[in-house]
A and B are shown apart, each in its own frame.
Chain A
C-alpha cells in the first residue's frame, strides 16, 4: 500500500478520530489547531482555531456536527464541525487530557490533569442541543485516583465511565453516583502508565496500551482481562479493527531517546496482532518517531497513524490484507 502522508501539524500528533461514517478524520497535535481531513484522499477540510495550547484529545458526535476538544490551555471547546466555529468553551483550573461523548451525545466526560496542587478529576458535562443554552456546570465530578488520567470513555449504555492513566489501574465508575465499581487487578493488570484506550466497535470490550510494553484487552462490563499482547516497545496507541479480528498497536522508544538511536532500532512500526490468537500478524513502517495515535476507519479498510514526527499517515489496506490466514 502507498500511504497518504498528511503534514498539517507542526508538532507531534496526539490523537486521531474518525467520524461514524468514516469519511472525516480528526487529528489533534501539540500545535494548537485540531484539523479535519477527508479520510479517503487525505485532503484537508479545515482547522479549528482557538486553542492556545497542545490539544490532547477530541471526539466527534454521531451526526458529525459537533467536535469536542480537550487542550492543555485548560479549556475544552465545542466546535461546529462544518464551519470550524467555536460554539462553547469550558474552562478548567488545569489542563484537560481526555474527552468523550456519551452514546447519544447528551453528555461528555472530561478528565483534567493534576496541576498546581489540584488533584486530577473526571467531570461529566451535559451537552445542550442548542449551543446558546450550554452551561459549564458539571453533572458529576469524580476526584479520585492519583496521577494523570490519560484516557476516559463511556461504558455500555452510559452506565459506567472507564478511566485509565498514570497509576496503571483501569477503573470503572458509576455514572450516577460517581462511585468506584471496579478496579483492575494490580498483579495481572498493567505495570506502567496506561497511555491509550480504544473501544471495540460494539463497545463490549476495549483495549488499553501501556508503557509496560503491552496492550491488554478487557471486558467493558466485568473488567475481566481477556487478552494480552506483548510487544518490545512502550505502547502509545492502540486500536481495534472493526472488520477483522485484528488489533493494531503503535509506540516506540520515548521521544527523548529518538535522536540517539537508529530509526530501525526505535521500533516505530504499527504492529498488527491477531485479537484472539495474540499472535503478531505484521508491522507497518514509515514514521520517523514514535507513533502517538492510531485509529481504524469504521469500515475497517483503512487506518491512520499519527507520530511524534508530526505526520499523519493514512493507509488504505491492500486486498491481500483481508486474506491473511493465521
Chain B
C-alpha cells in the first residue's frame, strides 16, 4: 500500500529496485481443458502496480510431429528485440476474421464430370435437361442452341412482320413467329415503312382502353377477344408490380381505326368473366 505514496521522480531512478516489491509470478493450470493462467505484476508508466493476467489454452495437435531438434529449439531463450519484449506488445495476434480459401467456383461443383459441370449454370442445365424446349427460331434446329446464339442468324431471311411485344406476353411472341437475336430498332425492322406514322397513331388514335376486367384476365385473353375485329399490334394489361395481380384495366392497339371502332361498339357492355366490360377510346395523355 505504500506504493501509492511514491513520487514519479523516485520511480524514474530506481524502478528496477522496486521489482522485489511486486508479488511473484503465479501460474495456474493448465486444467483439464488446457486453460492456463499466468498472473504477473508490474509497474506501468505512471508507477501504478498493474496485474497482468494472461489466459492461454494449451491444445494438443494430433498431427504435431516435432523433431527432437525442433523441441530443443522450442526452449531456446529469446534474443534480440524479442528478449525484452513486454507482455503488452502484442506482436502476434490471431486474426479475428475467419479467412476462407475462396474458390472461384462453388465448392460443390466438380469439374471432371461433364454432367455436373452445368450444375452451376441454370440456363445450361435447362438446355441439357429440356433439350426439346430449345428450338432455334432462326434455323429451326432443335436442342442445339438458343435463338440468340444461332450461328446462322446473319443468314436468316429478315422477318416480314413485326408485332410490338408487350413485356411478358408469351403468346403474342409465339404468334408473331419471329424473333431475332440481335436487337433491331423498330424503325429498322421489316414493315417499318408504315410504322413511322403508325407508331404515333398507335398511342393516341387506335388505342382502346378496356376497363372492369376480372383479375384473372391476362394479355392472351384480351388478345383472343379483340383479334376477331382486326389486326392488333399491342395488348397490355396493367399488373400491380408488387402483388402481380391484375389492376383490372388494359389497352389494346389496333392497326386500323375502323377495327377499333367496331370493337368498341361490339364489346362495350359485353359480359366477360362475370363482369361487364367497358371499352372506350383511350384518351391520349396531355403532354
Contact = CB atoms under 8 A, between A and B. Distances in A.
A83 B98 CA distance: 35
B95 A3 contact: yes
Contact residues of B: prevailing secondary structure: loop
Interface size class of chain A, counting residues whose CB lies under 8 Å from the partner chain: 35 or more
Contacts of A64: 69, 73
Contacts of A284: 99-102
Contacts of B73: 23-24, 45, 64, 82
A283 B103 CA distance: 7
A282 B101 contact: yes
Given A24-B73, A283-B102, A326-B111, A5 B79 contact: no
B98 A280 contact: no
Interface string B74-117: 10101111110100000111110111111110000011100000
Contacts of A182: none
B104 A45 contact: no
Contacts of B112: 325-326
B228 interface: no
A275 B217 CA distance: 60
Interface string A220-238: 0000000000000000000
B184 interface: no
Contacts of A301: 63
A279 B105 CA distance: 11
Interface in B230-248: none
B67 interface: yes
Contact of A21 (B69, B81, B85, B102): B69
A1 B80 contact: no
Nearest to A269: B102
B70 interface: yes
A286 interface: yes
A43 interface: yes
A41 interface: yes
A49 interface: yes
A38 interface: yes
A44 B79 contact: no
A84 B76 CA distance: 11
B182 interface: no
Interface in A299-321: 301, 313, 315, 317-318, 321
Contacts of A272: 101
A33 B82 CA distance: 11
Interface string A170-203: 0000000000000000000000000000000000
Nearest to A44: B82
Contacts of A252: none
A106 to B, nearest CB: 20
Given A44-B82, A49-B80, A315-B99, A5 B93 contact: yes
B82 A2 contact: no
B123 interface: no
Contacts of A6: 91-92
Interface in A90-126: none
Interface residues of B, number: 33
Nearest to A63: B69
Nearest to B83: A46
Interface in B107-143: 110-112
Contacts of B111: 279, 326
A49 B73 CA distance: 20
B79 A83 contact: yes
Contacts of A1: 98-101
B69 A44 contact: no
Contact of B79 (A2, A43, A45): A45
Interface string A34-62: 01011011111111110000000000000
B78 A44 contact: yes
Contacts of A281: 101, 103-104
A285 interface: yes
B99 A3 contact: yes
A112 to B, nearest CB: 26
A8 interface: yes
Contacts of B46: none
A24 B76 CA distance: 12
Contacts of B85: 44
A278 to B, nearest CB: 13
Nearest to A280: B104
A2 B80 contact: no
B21 interface: no
Interface string A245-282: 00000000000000000000000010010000001111
A45 B78 CA distance: 5
A4 interface: yes
A7 interface: yes
A286 B95 contact: yes
A44 B76 CA distance: 11
B6 interface: no
Contacts of A325: 110, 112
Interface of B: 61, 63-64, 66-67, 69-70, 73-74, 76, 78-83, 85, 91-95, 97-104, 110-112
Given A7-B92, A21-B70, 17 more contacts: A1-B101, A2-B97, A3-B99, A5-B95, A6-B91, A33-B81, A44-B78, A47-B79, A63-B69, A84-B80, A280-B104, A282-B103, A284-B100, A284-B102, A286-B99, A313-B95, A325-B110
5 contacts: A3-B94, A23-B74, A35-B82, A47-B79, A84-B79
